[in-house]
Amino acid sequence: MSERVKIGAKAKAVAVPQGFALLSDPTRNKGTAFTREERSLWGLEGLLPYSVDTIDHQVERVLGHLEAKPTDLERYIYLTGLEDRNETLFYRTVMSDPARFIPILYDPTVAYACLTFGHIYRRARGMYISRDMKGRIAEVLRNWPQRDVRFLCVSTGGRILGLGDIGANGMGIPIGKLQLYTACAAVPPTTLLPVLLDIGTTNDALRADPLYLGMREKPPSEHELDELVDEFVQAVQEVFPNCCLHFEDWKGTDAIRLLKRYRDKVLCYNDDIQGTASVTLAGLITALQILDAPLTEQRILFLGAGSAGIGIANLIAADMQTKGLSEAQARSRISMFDINGLLEPSRTDLSEDQKVYAHEAAPSKDLAETIERLKPTILIGVSTKGGAFNQRVVEAMSRANERPIIFALSNPTEKAECSAEQAYTWSKGKALFAAGVQFPNVTLNGETFYPGQANNFYIFPAVGLATYVARPKRLTDACFIAAAQACADQVGPELRAKGMLFPDQSSILEQEVTTAVRVAEFMFDQGLAQVERPRDIRAWIEGQLYKPQY
């Protein structure tokens, strides 16, 4: 038997599997929602209970199962199994309440899923490309059943969240990121491919774990890695020519180097660098609207000078330049502090990317003392050092500013530089605060404070949706500035009055579409798009959204 499916403007006959094979096909399986006619037509009679459910009844059953699970990790495992069985029902469930399910599918739960990945593994999702496949990566990629792959999220597992190098266990991140493309922005899931580029791991404990699923070797030299990545990137262009490469959670030095190498050659971006920078900029735009203060007059101090910190700093500097500052002036307003102290010219351990933020100053290894001296208006933590913003640090920011902006962006939760409660308590309610994870609201002296979550899911799914429809030649930093501004513009006066820095997550799909419209408009305006500009961009985008229905 066959069914007609639409590919672009053409209809194509596709063979439909029969019986158990159909029930085992997650993209076509409807489970108990198969009608009487479908059961007869496709050899399903007797293989399902008598009742014919609606998809909403199925969601109700799923929610009951989830309520019975004791932890979010168990809910994560259950939802993963559901996607393996019935992709439509999985997305119908997740998209029914994104604010509830995003923390289960992604941060913070995905961190614990990655730590135990080899132990909770059920079924391969995506592809595992190991370094012993060098010389035939294109051949291996052709084993993927879909040809119209539009996004390939690839990680080496070299720097997962704040967990460090966890090798093949990092596959949970590309899987989770691409799930959010669909759950948050309705990018069709059949166009998405998670990939783990298995280069080995420096993690001795994992290599000794009998249930570890990756290569039990140490990573190759930088030169060998670059050769492997170059073959991989070229293979993707050959096998999936319409694909955008999404680099995710690579070791910091690799992430910066490889983005520089490929950003002007192929359609790609690095979410840890550009996505993190964009969502941080979005939160800063909102905070500065609350303060009625221009970005160009801020003094910004980072704790952490790796790929995330450099990426955020570069995007902020780029936005400052659009507002009238020179490159040198913009960079002069940004300082950095890392594990070895303040970045300043006497340091001999700085990379070229770090040196541009190493300004003339006395050496310091005391963050609070540095704040007293530099008097930053904004403090951003990307250090993965839990508790680094201690009471001395927050109080120093509060003495220097009537309303200090404090972003503790490291995750998972225990890696956050401070909690929302600590930031509000130690600043006596003055701080404008956001974290990389969602902290609960805080009540202090009878007043309720609403911490923001500077999570990339506000940005990358929308940029992905814009890329899916507009098919740009390249993704530029300016696209991510446009996304940041679009995100910030959706935090209305009522939310800003509460100190909220990001939109409410309950209407995430509408927000992502709105951001995607703005980014697509920018792509058309800048000549990046490779399709004809429609009259009504929003209606055009909405007509291409994935809908989880049978």
Q: Which two tokens stand for residue 103?
A: 């923390």
Torsion of CA 468, 471, 473, 475, to 10 degrees: -30
Annotated active-site residue in 106, 181, 357, 468: 106
End-to-end CA distance of the chain: 18
Torsion of CA 238, 192, 213, 201, to 10 degrees: 70
Annotated active-site residue in 30, 177, 251, 415: 177
Long-range contacts of 516-520 (CB under 8 A, 24+ apart): 516/185, 516/462, 516/463, 516/465, 516/466, 516/469, 516/541, 517/466, 517/486, 517/541, 518/482, 518/483, 518/485, 518/486, 519/462, 519/463, 519/466, 519/479, 519/482, 519/483, 519/486, 520/466, 520/469, 520/470
DSSP type of residue 17: P
106 belongs to the catalytic site: yes
Q: Are strands 447-449 and 442-444 parallel, antiparallel or unpaired?
A: antiparallel
Beta strand ranges found along 283-353 (DSSP E): 300-303, 334-338, 341-342
What is the rounded distance in angstroms from the CA atom of residue 176 to the CA atom of residue 166?
A: 16
What is the rounded distance in angstroms from the CA atom of residue 317 to the CA atom of residue 328?
A: 9
Q: Which residues are catalytic?
A: 106, 177
